[in-house]
Each structure stands twice: as structure tokens, then as C-alpha cells.
Chains A and B, each alone.
Chain A
Amino acid sequence: MDAFQGLLTGFQVALSLEGIMFVLIGVIVGTLIGMMPGLGPISAIAIMIPITYGMDPAPALVMMAGVYYGAVFGGSTSSILLNAPGISGTVATAFDGYPMAQQGKAGKALAIAAISSFVGGTVSVVLLMLLAPALSSVAISFGPPAYFALMFMGLTAISSLSEGSTIKAMIAAVAGFMVVTIGIDPQTGTQRFTFGNVNLFDGFDFLIIALGLFAVAEVCMLILNRKNRSLSDDQKLGSLKLSKADLKEMSGPVSRQSFVGFLLGVLPGAGATIASFISYIFEKRIAKNPGEFGKGAIKGLAAPESSNNAATSGAFVPLLSLGIPGSGTTAVMLGAFLVLGVQPGPLLMTDRPEIFWGIIASMYLGNVFLLILNLPLIPYLAKILSIPRPLLISLVIMFSLIGVYSISFNVFDLYMLLVFGALGFAMRIFSFPAPPFILAFILGGMMEQAFRQSMTISNGSLSIFVDSPLPLSLLLIALISLLVPAFLKWRSNRLAYKQR
């Protein structure tokens, strides 16, 4: 099936009554949860997963994708209005968005963010549509060693690109992998680390980890910050209108950073947050008057906004065509696929074209909906920011508990949710990044399987990973991605040490 025909199939799904409805639900829920400071896209997706039980996979996944990019779209609103980023991908949005709002130009800032997000998202869907099928047809010939190497590279990339210490990020990744070894080994039937507890035989469901490590841990942070101000009723948004000069000023950064964002989204480990920072710095470097950045520059707002949304669609490239998520958020998306019995990967495009193309086509539609939601309706949507924090906290706890209960109807899992919530909170306090943990948890089972398949093929010789060029080069990239930042840090530390 060629891309054009595929896209037609996709639009049949996306433009059906059901499709339109679920895209709309997805982007609205995503926007609302994304707006809440402290609740990120991972929580948004995890909270919505129970709703999809029993649904047809295509509309369900179209909705989940909408939740994801809707959250990135919506996160900018609270960055601009409250200087409290809704999600980490919109931290850079606050740099210039909040100063603009303080100057009484909040409406204008929201309009710039919405239009930049729309362009970034749409450009990126076009690129996704071109790249994903191509990558699928290459990946179809990958054997277990190449898959193992790819996933290994994804984990090292997310560890070395995480905020803060690389060692801590790697510890988080290894811990995530360890948690997935709990349960009955699917290949030999050996019980591993179950201590004879029947509840542990099947291992932990990923929803327990995702909701505990993110939603419950984020609730703890919300409890600490519960006295921070929410939106006051008298805050004026100002006019949403943009002048021709404004649009002209935006056009440069938006068109450049849409491509930059997409590229960073495709690469493993990066994603919306890193993309938005790189784009911000990029535009500041090449600006004629970089001094304006941070004081409400239009370019400084447009750049991260187009970039983070472009990265979001970019992140779907490895997910859809390789079946390998490159970030914490897409790892949870993969979980959503698996819950519905859909295995993303090179075969998805040919086996389930209605899902592969349906998601891509729905993104065009979703971005249009988001533009409409975020332009004329934004003053009404922003009202959700005035929800009292204590009430929000109680409701998120409830959503998490119901979500976990509805997968297994087992109270044991609810206690485990509490345990992983406490772990996630501790990780936040002691600066261990959580995304490597969830990515390793999702990839762990697949990696172990690929590793053991490879070793079976090679009769137990590790040389299978270095004999053919593809796994070898992927593993080398993984090694370099760990060593180069470590070396740079070591050198700068040594210099600092000498100077003391």
C-alpha cells in the first residue's frame, strides 16, 4: 500500500463519526490535564488507559495519541499565565511567555503559542507520514540482535540526556529493568523474586508503575506546593489578536524549529523537553538582538512552542515503525497499545493499516481541533486552572486508584501503587529521573527476550552482537553516548578541583 492510499484509509478512520469524537475527547482531556501544573503527559495517558478497555483499538489509540499531543499543546497555557509549566516540555515557553503575560499581553502570548504549536505539530505530522513507512520497511529485516542493540541504545540515550547526573539516570534505568524481572519468566517458567506470592507471578502491570511513579508522585509534589497561587478570577487575558508584524516575526523561528523539533523527537532519548530548550537557545544564538530574549520576545516564545509539538509527533516515528519507544511518554503510549492487543512495529503498517494510518491522519485533525480549542476557547479552558489544589489532589488520587483497580480487580495492586508512588516521590526528592525507569521497565521484557533469542541463534556466543555492522554500530553509538558526557563532566570537575 502506498502512502497516499494509506492516508486515505487513515482518514476514513479519523473522519468517521467515532473517529472525530474520540480525537476531540483525546485533545480536550489532554489539554486540560496538560494545563494543570505538575501533571504531565505520562499521567494524562496513564489515567486515560482504563477508559479504553473494551474499545476498538483504532479509535482508542487515536484518542490516546490526542491526549499526548493535547497535553503538550495545553502545557503552554499555565507556563504563560502562571509561570508554572503544565509539563516539562513547556518550561522554556515560560521564559518569554510569562513576561509577555505580565506586560498585559497574555492573550497575544497564548495566540502565538497556539499558532506555533499548530504549525509545529502539522509540519511534523507531514514528516512523520513520510518517514515512518520508510523506516518500517527497513526495520522489517532487523533480527533480534539489532533490536536488542536498538533498545540498549534507547536506554543509554535517555540516561545520558536526562537532567542531572548520568549515574543516577542509569541507576533509575537499571532499577526499572530489575522490577520487570519480578514474576514468572515467560521462557523457562522459573519464578523470579516472587517469594511465592501469587500476586507477583504475573509481574507488575505497567499501569501500576506509570500511575505510581508519575501520577501519585506528582500528587506528592502538588501537596508540597498546594499553597502556590492558582489563577485568580480577575486576571485579564487581553486581546488574542496578532498583527502582521507579529506573524512575520514568528515565521522564521516557527519554520526552522518545526524541523529541529521533529528531528529531536525522532532521536531516542530526546523528546519535547530537550527539543524546546535546544530550539530556544538556537533562536537566541542567531537572533539580531538576543537581549530581548527572556523579556517577552515573540521569537523566544514561538521557538520552543513549535519545537515541543513537533517533537511530540516525531516521537511517534520510532514507536510506530520500530515498536520501540524513545522516551518515557512514548513508553507509556506503547503500554496503551499493548493493553489493546496491538503490537506496534514494522508489521503494523501492513497488518493494521487502519491503526497506523488512522493515528497519523487523526493528528492532522487533532491539531486543527487544538488550534480551535486554544484560540477562541482559551479564556474558558483556562478556568480549569482555578480548581482548588486540594480538590485536584484528591481527584487525581482517585483516578489513579480506579485505574489500577480496573486492570486486575486486585487490592494487592492498589497497595503496590502506593509503594511505587512513594518510590517515585523519593526519586523526585533525590533527583533520580523517572523517565529512564519507566522506559527500562517497558523495554526490559523485550530486551531480555531479544537477548536470549540472539544468544540462542548464536549458540551462546556474544559475538553475534558485533559480527554484523548494524548491531555493532548501534552499540558503539550507545557507548559513545555514555562516555562522551561522562568524559566532559570528569574533565570539568577536574578543572574545578584543580582551581580549588
Chain B
Amino acid sequence: MLASINRKLGLLIFIVAAVYLYLSFQLPNYEYAPIDADVIPKGLGILLLVLSVFLFFSRVVETDAEKAKRDIPKKELGVIAAVFAMIFVYILLFETIGFIITTTLFIFFCSWFLGYRAWKTNILVSLLFPIVMYAIFVFALGIVLPRGILPF
């Protein structure tokens, strides 16, 4: 029954819509508003529910180009997941260790991981970029980036 990709996506979106709709019915009432805060969410939930049913039953055959787009080798998905993990670690450490150090490490290792082997240029860029950005944001724009463990 879930043979085509549209059926799987339709089902997934149906579930999302149902959860959203359930939550919109839980919204508290506010007596004095002619149109309360729950009207638009309820409408959107129903609309998405209907659209997901349309998608589920749509007879449109997937084009070859669309099929090719989602045909991604497992290994490549792993690469993307790894980059996301690196970003996650970056965010985790960003405020405690500070912008300059984490950014330097991130740019160097992320570029290296993705296959950039010219390590001299890599070191140069990963050092210069954070320092220049830090200078622009903190001194020119007045936007404070986390200093972390560095004294400046």
C-alpha cells in the first residue's frame, strides 16, 4: 500500500497535520476576541490534512529527475550527518570556549573532512576568517560574540 513515495510522504504529513490539529483544539479560549487564537491554526490543520490525503491518492507518477534527486548513496548521507554533528558540537562549545577558537577548529576540520588537503591554505583561512569576522562584528558593528577562554 505504501509502494510509492507520495504515499509514504502523504501518510507522514497526515500524521503531522493530525497532531497539529489536536494541539490547536487544546488552545485556551479568550472570551473577548471575535476571532480567537485557535481559528487560523484549526483552519491550517484541516487544510494540511486534506492536502496530505490528496498527496496520498495522487496518481502523478514521479519523474526520473525527481527520483534521481532522492537517490543519494548512504555514504553521502553519512557525510552530511557528520557535518551536522560537527555543527552540533560547535554550537555546544561555542559559548564556553569562545568564537575564535571553536570557529578556527570547525573550519579546519570540516574542510579537511570534506576532502580539502591543502593544509597550509586551510590553516591560514581558518585562522584569518574568525579573527576578521570577530573584529568586524565586535569592533565595527558592536555585536558581541562570545569571547570564551581568550582574554580579548
Contact = CB atoms under 8 A, between A and B. Distances in A.
A50 B144 CA distance: 12
A282 to B, nearest CB: 24
Contacts of B110: 390, 393-394, 397
A226 B125 CA distance: 19
B44 interface: yes
Interface residues of B, number: 68
Contact of B80 (A223, A414, A452): A223
Contacts of A223: 76, 79-80, 83, 114
B35 A425 contact: no
A463 to B, nearest CB: 14
Contacts of A3: none
Contact of B35 (A168, A175, A390, A451): A451
Interface in B22-77: 23-24, 27-28, 30, 33-41, 44-45, 47-48, 51-52, 54-55, 58-60, 66, 69-70, 72, 76
Interface in B71-128: 72, 76, 79-80, 83-84, 87-88, 90-91, 94-95, 103, 106-107, 110-116, 118, 121-122, 125-126
Contact of B41 (A178, A224, A398): A178
Contact of A174 (B44, B79, B84, B114): B44
Nearest to B116: A390
A51 to B, nearest CB: 7
Contacts, number: 168
Interface residues of A, number: 63
B51 A174 contact: yes
A178 B44 contact: yes
Chain B contact surface mostly: helix
Contacts of B41: 178, 181, 192-193
Interface in B1-18: 5, 9, 13
A391 B116 contact: yes
Interface of A: 50-51, 53-54, 164-165, 167-168, 170-171, 174-175, 177-178, 181, 185, 187-190, 192-193, 219-220, 223-224, 226-227, 388-391, 393-395, 397-398, 401-402, 405-406, 409, 411, 414-415, 418, 421-422, 425, 428-431, 448, 451-452, 455-456, 459-460, 489, 493, 497
